[in-house]
Chains A and B, each alone.
Chain A
């Protein structure tokens, strides 16, 4: 079992829909990251959070430390939101601080 699991793996929606991507982790963490990767492109950091909720434009990220779960929400989705969204956790593993990645969620927003 992976230490960071995302769901769904693929998500297709119509423009304007409310999108939720989930991330569950099984290790102790110091922070959780939501990242965005466009096709053929590098990775952009969207959020880093260790508790509560953060909002940036149409994006909202929440984390529940007790349940080891985080969600990324996109309101009023747009085709330009189509990308792979990756959840990653900062965790102390074998004495070193590491970033552990989920497998990503491929989001496609159709016009």
Chain B
């Protein structure tokens, strides 16, 4: 069954280090989302891609976060430097297009120490 793949599942990093997460959406899905979910809260959108173009990155802390989807397929989310407050679950989701049902990956749980 098609699924959204994310890696790593877990990551522990020291404050001020760089960290990167990878997401491979379901084949054929043009829309890709990165969400951050702090424990006990709902997901918060960080960035949304339509193919290789950024549709919405208004909530992305651009001083330390960057995201790319160079060929419009898989995507990488980077944090540099990581801060303690970045500890969260980072979720990737994809959909066939805007407004279509979104499918989520297992997420990457980041702990910054």
Contact = CB atoms under 8 A, between A and B. Distances in A.
B109 A40 contact: yes
A99 B101 contact: no
A31 interface: yes
Contacts of B93: 43, 99
A97 interface: yes
Contact of B42 (A41, A86, A98): A86
B21 interface: no
Contact of B48 (A4, A90, A98, A104): A98
Given A103-B41, A103-B42, A104-B42, A44 B104 contact: yes
A55 to B, nearest CB: 17
Interface residues of B, number: 23
A104 B101 CA distance: 18
Interface string B1-33: 000001000000000000000000000000001
B45 A99 contact: yes
Interface of A: 4, 30-31, 33, 35, 40-45, 48, 86, 88, 90, 96-99, 101-104
Given A43-B43, A97-B99, 8 more contacts: A41-B107, A42-B6, A43-B104, A43-B107, A45-B101, A86-B43, A99-B33, A99-B93
